[in-house]
Amino acid sequence: MVTQAQLDANKLNAKKAGVKSDTGKEISKYNAVRHGVLQKTLISTERDEAQAMLSLLVIEHEPQGILEDLLLESMVLAYMRMIRAIQAEKAVLTEGFMPMIRYDSNTSDETDNIEVGNSQYGMLDKIYMRYITSCERQFYRALHELQRVQDLRKGKRLSSVAVDIFKDTSD
């Protein structure tokens, strides 16, 4: 049970965090959509690839019923979002953080002193790898649920023990 003192402290701490100025709020409101990685829907250029993948998955898994169809669609969406995150990470590496490697014909394949700042790598590690991992988790959870539902439909006996291999409670 949360005490009144804890509630008051939480309210006070909540007021300390976040953007305060109108200018800052105007800038930060687009943070979630700036790169499109977290967009839940597909953009037009992704639709054809997603439809082709869905068709292949339908052939492979032979879904029956709306639940199995939805699980296949969830797998495709998670996969497409993972590809987005990988492409965004690649773009940041090639365009922003990694200096060009220069080769001199008079030397071996040695590079100049290339250094990537810890804060830059940390941003990639914390953001893009988290996105990629989250999408992978969504894909495999949908796949495992599809397999479970199909096994139940086919009359197979399932184990009564549930194992959370991810130990993740954030999703």
Condensed to tens digits (0 to 9), the pLDDT of residues 12-38 reads: 777 776 777 788 777 666 655 555 666
Q: How far does the chain reach from its first CA to its final CA, in angstroms?
A: 24
pLDDT for the residue 107: 45
- Taking the CB of residue 156, how many other CB atoms lie within 10 A of it? 10
Q: Are 89 and 128 in contact (CB under 8 A)?
A: yes
Report d(CA 53, CA 63) in Å as an integer. Answer: 14
**Average pLDDT over every residue of 100-106:** 43
Of 129 and 25, more confident: 129
**Average pLDDT over every residue of 57-85:** 94
Length of the chain: 171
Q: 4: which 2 tokens?
A: 């009144």
Chain centroid, CA 85 distance in Å: 6
Query: Residues 6 or more apart from 140 whose CB is under 8 A from it?
Result: none
**Average pLDDT over every residue of 114-120:** 49
Amino acid at 119: S
pLDDT for the residue 65: 93
pLDDT tops 90 at residue 57: yes
